[in-house]
Chain A
Amino acid sequence: MIWETVRLSLRSIRRNVLRSFLTLLGIVIGVAAVIAMLTIGSGTTQKVKADISKLGSNLLVVRAGRPAGPGGPGGLDQVVRPLAEKDLAALVAHLTGARAISPASQKQVRVIFGTESLTSGVTGTDSAYLDARDWKLVSGRPFSDSETRSGTGVCLIGETVRQQFFGAGDPEGEIIRVNRTSCKIIGLLEPKGYTGFGQDQDNVVLMPLHAYQRRIAGNRDIDNIYIAADDRTPTSELQPRVEDILRDIRRITPDRESDFGIRDMTQIADAMASATTTMTGMLGAVAGVSLLVGGIGIMNIMLVSVTERTREIGIRLAIGAHEKHILIQFLVEATVLSLLGGIIGILIGLGLAGLASATLTIPFAPSPAVILLAVGFSALIGMVFGFFPALRGARLDPIDALRHE
């Protein structure tokens, strides 16, 4: 009986292909939007989380200047006292619960090899940096301690830099010019791709901190100190210890605020994730409106269908159909119609999400739960908005209906 009714409704939908399709447009667009947005949204969330964890999981970043909100710049109301070698030394000497502590100073600098040139993020650091950031080498070796100490002209390069200068070739042992100094490539970093914010993480050059300070920055400042917590220590526990040690070494009296900030990357990751969730939620509401419009479209077309088929309803009632048979027939038709729209919408939505993930290089993350929900929701829309027209059909008087032209 139900199968019979489903077949019947498919047939009547097929008879009016164009009309059915136009009717479905609302549902198709609504569902496609929901699916695309939720899929892209969860891909973005995954990407952001992955990016943040690429920055290093359980990572604290210390920088000079008064702390502002997460990710915000330091206050401008004070002359910033930079971080220095002795701050780093104090942390190395006294901090417990850290897996790696590493200084880093950064600058966008023109890098030249032969006739090619490229503006890269050049970082002066030490050998603990790779450990702190969880970066790996594809080939070559990290700086030795003596290279770090003496500030030898050696460097590690990222994949983008290699491709620019050497194509697929082996860069090891080549000499590149960074600003007005030269350095020898001793290793190649593992490719990391783009961040969610479109920043190329492979367009980098690492060199010993002292070399960077002397030849590029022209000062003895340290921009950041990266501190990776060990497995047993949560960053929330590590953070106050870092603060105590630095306040002590920088001689900040208890009545004054710290003149440095400590950013917890885990917190930032959570904040980013919840920001994308809020965004997908808002876009979801917009999609909800188009689904409502789609539902009204279904209602409209079902009313037309019931009117057009008044005589058919009369015939069915005359030969013994009950009210419920007619009701079910039109309800099923509305449901099948809107389910069809939902399925088309899901396919289009997934297609769009796939396209977006390819162009934005975010993971394609379709969620079975979301798809199932969309299927159920579009069926529900058909039932809810199909009910009134179906009831109208079922309540027809058979004699009037048979007389209808």
Chain B
Amino acid sequence: MAAGAPLITFDKVWKSYGQGEARVHALAGVDFAIRRGEFVAIMGPSGSGKSTAMNIIGCLDTPTAGTYSFMGVDAGRLDRNRRAMLRNLYVGFVFQGYNLLARTTAAENVELPLIYRGVASRERRDLAMQALAQVGLVGREHHTPAELSGGQQQRVAIARAIVTRPTLLVADEPTGNLDTARTHEIMELLTKLNKELGLTVTMVTHEADVADYAERTIRFLDGHVVSDTANLETA
């Protein structure tokens, strides 16, 4: 990849569902680019195509038309297993509902992506401990999700997302299930990871004060990008 080239490029990306009359365009010709190390918030009303865009960014999904390139690779045209490989190597996911494996300890949840990388169990444990320390969860390694609060579960999910040292963090409404205090803690954590590790963060949110943590906000409406602005430094 050429130096200075964007990490992520959407070039007239369409994503359509259904046929004929019932055809819905979740994305209707979306263009934008995100550079390495950026912290981008994606906003917009419900059904405007935010999650669809995030799934394509995270290589979980592919566009119906247009080009999505990730790290200079035409990721929209890769097969399932190649996209799985990209996800495992470069992408970490954080979801609104945490999506931890039930009845599985925090440490084991965090180790999971490393298993699919073939990392030896000893090293896996060390890396998982490090990641849990980074999200401030020392001493909770052996708790299962049921024994953790929502904020703690989301921290575990973040630890799982960063344990592979990814290039990109994809977070779809990461604070959607949390109260205000917990929301700000999580946002501070994401900001720290963005600043300290140079992690590129793309995050969907409905809340303006959450979006304010980002450097830039992209607004969606009916599958189109309606605005793409830099946030004023508030801190």
Q: Does A320 lie within 8 Å of B89, measured CB to CB?
A: yes
Which A residues touch B99, using CB under 8 A?
311, 314-315, 318, 402
**Tally of chain A residues near chain B (CB < 8 A):** 20
By secondary structure, the A interface counts as: helix
CB-contact partner of A322 in B58, B116, B160, under 8 A: B116
Q: Does B84 lie within 8 Å of A322, measured CB to CB?
A: yes
Alpha-carbon distance between A315 and B102 when the two chains are bound, in angstroms:
11
Encode contact with A along B45-63: 1 for CB under 8 Å, 0 otherwise: 0000000000100101100
Given contacts A4-B115, A311-B99, A402-B99, A320 and B60 within 8 Å (CB-CB): no
Alpha-carbon distance between A197 and B160 when the two chains are bound, in angstroms:
70
Given contacts A319-B116, A320-B87, A320-B117, A399 and B103 within 8 Å (CB-CB): no
Count: A-B pairs, CB below 8 Å: 55
B76, chain A: closest CB distance, angstroms: 14
The answer, yes or no, to whether B144 is at the interface (CB within 8 Å) is no
Alpha-carbon distance between A104 and B101 when the two chains are bound, in angstroms:
82
Interface residues on B, range: 20 to 34
The answer, yes or no, to whether A1 is at the interface (CB within 8 Å) is yes
Alpha-carbon distance between A320 and B114 when the two chains are bound, in angstroms:
9
Alpha-carbon distance between A320 and B88 when the two chains are bound, in angstroms:
4
Encode contact with B along A135-179: 1 for CB under 8 Å, 0 otherwise: 000000000000000000000000000000000000000000000
Which B residues touch A398, using CB under 8 A?
60
B13, chain A: closest CB distance, angstroms: 16
Which residues on B are within 8 Å of A, measured CB to CB?
55, 58, 60-61, 80-81, 84-85, 87-89, 92-93, 95, 99-101, 103, 112-113, 115-118, 121, 160, 164
Closest 5 CB pairs of A and B: A320-B88, A319-B113, A320-B116, A320-B87, A322-B84
- Seed contacts A4-B115, A318-B58, A319-B93; 8 additional CB < 8 Å A-B pairs: A312-B101, A315-B99, A319-B92, A323-B80, A323-B84, A325-B116, A402-B95, A402-B99
11 contacts between A and B (CB under 8 A): A1-B118, A315-B99, A316-B116, A318-B87, A319-B87, A319-B92, A320-B116, A321-B84, A321-B116, A325-B116, A399-B60
